[in-house]
Amino acid sequence: MHPELQPAKILRYETPAAMSAAFPEPALHYEQGGVILLGNCGIGFDEEFVSTLQFPPAWKKIGTANDITVPPLVYRDGKYYRTQNPLCRAIPDDRILLKVYSELLRIELGFKLLVSNVLPSYRNVQWQNCTFRLTQTREEQAHLDSFDGGAALPEHMHVPRLKLFLNIDAEPRVWKVGPTLPDLLRHSEGRLGSPLPTDLNMLCACINASGLLAEVPMQRVEIPPRGVIFANGATVLHQVVYGNRMVCLEGFLPRACLQLSSLCEWDQVVPWIRAAGYTAAN
Ligand SMILES: [Fe+2]
């Protein structure tokens, strides 16, 4: 890798008020592959209780897509019935079931409200999965996010991605942040081979498998309890080093809500490949 290759820049704000006062700076920064660290999300939840919760390894990425925040009890014909919420199968005691559900739900809703507060241009975001990762993570590999084994993604997913992570543990979560995808391409000195795939998901998988990431400079960053990191995992290299409890919120952004000077990452793949001296596959 070329010696000029540097990790992506990290912008820091202490509070949601400081972040919203700085708008549109955080939106511009995020849309250009930058990382944002918000020190304190200001979301109310029972931290002492939540820091005792632990999900089994099979629930590593369980989330709203699995109905984890649908009401666990419904009232019908004078009786309460348990629902399809997976917590119902895991927690026999009604009182604890409702306590866990209420904490997860307030975190989900508080997290979504936070985004409309600090990034008001994203108020039309289409929320995707909100995952409650209440399992330990240690020394993950540095990677760019790639799904479905690096397959081409369908057209409706070729939109700007919003991705943020809230540390709900009592201990700091430790990440390492690496360079942006265009910087990685530019400084890879032709070692990725050619032609390169023009589907972002395929390109990320190709870079992850290249073996080049081991020699890339990474910057350590501590996300304090209640801190949030905003990072588009497909366009900035990242790695979780240490963490126990985190909530990840994902959304798709309509192109129209980007800042005027920003472009969707999917529309930039071909220019990025060519600017780095590679050939784009058809
Ligand atoms: Fe990731």
| Residue 142 falls inside a structural domain | yes
Length of the chain: 282
Residue 220 CA to residue 218 CA, distance in Å, equals: 7
Q: Which parts of 69-199 fold into alpha helices (H)?
A: 87-90, 94-118, 181-186
| Residue 164 falls inside a structural domain | yes
| Residue 105 falls inside a structural domain | no
> pLDDT (tens digit, 9 = 90+) per residue, 16-31?
999 999 999 999 999 9
Based on the structure, what is the number of domains in the chain?
Answer: 1
| Residue 97 falls inside a structural domain | no
Distance (angstroms) between ligand 1 centre and the Cα of 46 equals 27
Distance (angstroms) between ligand 1 centre and the Cα of 145 equals 5
DSSP class of 143: B
Distance (angstroms) between ligand 1 centre and the Cα of 170 equals 22
User: Which domain does 25 fall in, by range?
Assistant: 10-57+119-275
pLDDT at 2 (0 to 100) = 79
| Residue 98 falls inside a structural domain | no
| Residue 191 falls inside a structural domain | yes
Tokens of residue 56, six digits: 């089994």
| Residue 268 falls inside a structural domain | yes
- pTM value? 0.95
Residue 24 CA to residue 129 CA, distance in Å, equals: 25
pLDDT at 201 (0 to 100) = 98
Please state the φ and ψ torsions of residue 108, each to the nearest 5 degrees. Answer: -60, -50
Distance (angstroms) between ligand 1 centre and the Cα of 232 equals 9
| Residue 18 falls inside a structural domain | yes
Distance (angstroms) between ligand 1 centre and the Cα of 79 equals 43
